[in-house]
Structure 1
Amino acid sequence: MSDDKINEEKLNNEKTEDEEEYVGRDWNKILMGVLFVFAATVTWYVIQAILGH
């Protein structure tokens, strides 16, 4: 009986760690997306300034 409880706790801990890692990866993707859009916007304005439009 105690072995089953230990195994359940291990599974619960693993699930929690996986969920935390998944959330972390999502934030990295969101941050990279925001930075990409920001870089693209800045590049667009720089090109427009150089071309004089």
Structure 2
Amino acid sequence: MRYKDLEFVKRELMDIKGHMVDIDSIMTEDDYKALQKYNIEKSEGKLTSHEELKKELGL
């Protein structure tokens, strides 16, 4: 393979990397439902903070 070919492949690879999506940043339907449930529970005051839980457990 010639140097020009390698440079072309390198540029193409960099272009592909630039358009890739981080799979961890994609919200699934289950993630969306869990987020909706969290927002409802938060607005209803049903959540306990980490600090409150530690106090309740005597930690």
Question: What TM-score results when the alignment is normalised by the length of structure 1?
Answer: 0.46
Larger relative contact order (Cα-Cα within 8 Å, sequence gap ≥ 6): 2
Larger proportion of helix: 1
Question: What TM-score results when the alignment is normalised by the length of structure 2?
Answer: 0.43
